[in-house]
Chain A
Amino acid sequence: MTRHVVRLYALVVGVLTFFLVWALVAAHPWSASSRRASRDPRLIELVARRRWIERESSRVQIVVARRWAIYRKALRARNAAIARVQRQRALAAQQLAVAPVPAAAPAAAAPARIVTLPPLVITRTS
């Protein structure tokens, strides 16, 4: 009984040793390419690039957040300006309504009247 157990252990140890030696030999630890794989410049470059992209991504997130804040501020100002212009336009339309409008004014005619304001520009023959 005891001899059988010893034999079984010896067999298992033998098989394990065989596979261990096989794996060791298959790994070619003596070859240069195997040692080189761990310090492949392309891998090193990829790792470095990944780190750079991660850093850049963080920076871009910060810039986007900052620009978004500026845009929202500008949008608020622009909306306020639009509201102001609409108020002015309504006022100007009221003033124009006082001026005589020809009965048969065409649809294409834009509101125009003679004013006494100082001119902003001069139109001349183009």
Chain B
Amino acid sequence: MERRTFTAMGTEIELLVESDDATDAFDAVEVEFERLEQVLSRFRPDSELSLLNQNGSIDASPDLAQVLWLAVDARERTDGRFDPTVHDALVGAGYDRTFDDVPRDVAAASAASECGGRVSVEGQHIEIERGYRIDLGGIGKGYAAERAAELLALTGPCLVNAGGDVAMRGLPTTGVWSVAVDGSITLGLTQGGVATSGRDRRRWRRGGKEQHHLIDPRTGAPAETDLLRVTAVGDDAVAAEILAKSLFLAGEREAADSTVPAVLVTADGRTRLSRGLGR
């Protein structure tokens, strides 16, 4: 099994391929991550997403149009729990620069921002309602993981772990991809994707109050839930990312009762399996 790790999109990317020599494929994936970051990052002022946020409309590249279409579709399917228009809420909460540069504790209080702005994706033309801006942080990583897996699959069975968003193609010789969750549980998958959403990592304080990056679009502020972390399995990394965030916002009771295969870690440290994982 060939393995390579590198940093992109503000996180560590891990590539695994069952192949004798995957150097060229690994190089191609690194280039692809850089290309997609230049399209989807809200932290790069010259990215395509930043241009959209500045101008309110754009004739986008196929990648941006596709990711935004997926995000808007997810908003409808999750009844608004997943929402791409959380940009200003994230900035209001203090996540206004790459996470490594976010001050961990400052006195300024955070302010909630309204989410749920209208987003129109007609072919490759995108328009967002005035006063709203887009963040594609989580779903963008899932999308990039899937694109990377497509590239690596030309070399052999592969797995891409983009900071917790996992995409896979083919099967390793062991017959199953084993993905560790929470140190104690290992999931075996033959296809699909895995993603983890939680408030245990990207967090900071504003005005003495803990903030994190998972915005509840209903309140426009960091979600208050009895869950610490959710790992969900979906059809692919994008679907898993959407499911993980939705279950996280749903809270322990609803998430545990879900038919989505998921591992839940509660705020008080318990680990639970959802009904979808054979609870």
Taking CB atoms, residues of chain B closer than 8 Å to A110 are 189-193, 233-235, 261
Determine whether the beta carbon of A125 is less than 8 Å from that of B198.
yes
Inter-chain CA distance A114–B178, complex, in Å, is 9
| Residues of B in contact with A, size category | 35 or more
Q: State whether the Cβ of A72 lies closer than 8 Å to any Cβ in chain B.
A: no
Tell me whether A88 and B187 are in contact in the complex, defined as CB-CB below 8 angstroms, given that A113-B278, A124-B164 are known contacts.
Answer: no
Determine whether the beta carbon of B261 is less than 8 Å from that of A112.
yes
Taking CB atoms, residues of chain A closer than 8 Å to B170 are 85
CB-nearest residue of chain B relative to A82? B170
Q: State whether the Cβ of A115 lies closer than 8 Å to any Cβ in chain B.
A: yes
Inter-chain CA distance A92–B229, complex, in Å, is 29
Q: State whether the Cβ of B276 lies closer than 8 Å to any Cβ in chain A.
A: yes
Q: State whether the Cβ of A27 lies closer than 8 Å to any Cβ in chain B.
A: no
The interface on chain A, measured as residues whose beta carbon lies within 8 A of the other chain's beta carbons, has a size of: 35
Q: State whether the Cβ of B107 lies closer than 8 Å to any Cβ in chain A.
A: no
Taking CB atoms, residues of chain A closer than 8 Å to B202 are 125
Inter-chain CA distance A81–B19, complex, in Å, is 11
Q: State whether the Cβ of A102 lies closer than 8 Å to any Cβ in chain B.
A: yes
Q: State whether the Cβ of A5 lies closer than 8 Å to any Cβ in chain B.
A: no
Determine whether the beta carbon of A120 is less than 8 Å from that of B277.
no
Q: State whether the Cβ of A109 lies closer than 8 Å to any Cβ in chain B.
A: yes
Q: State whether the Cβ of A41 lies closer than 8 Å to any Cβ in chain B.
A: no
Tell me whether A120 and B159 are in contact in the complex, defined as CB-CB below 8 angstroms, given that A109-B260, A112-B189, A112-B261 are known contacts.
Answer: yes
Q: State whether the Cβ of B109 lies closer than 8 Å to any Cβ in chain A.
A: no
Chain A residues at the B interface, C-beta cutoff of 8 Å: 81, 85, 88-89, 91-93, 95-96, 99-102, 104-106, 108-126
A-B contact pairs, 21 of them (CB 8 A): A85-B171, A89-B190, A92-B175, A102-B275, A104-B259, A109-B276, A110-B235, A111-B192, A113-B277, A114-B186, A114-B273, A114-B278, A115-B176, A117-B178, A123-B161, A123-B164, A123-B165, A123-B179, A123-B181, A125-B197, A126-B141
Q: Give 9 new A-B contacts, CB below 8 A, not counting A113-B277, A119-B180, A123-B166.
A: A85-B171, A92-B176, A110-B192, A112-B187, A112-B192, A114-B185, A121-B161, A125-B199, A126-B195
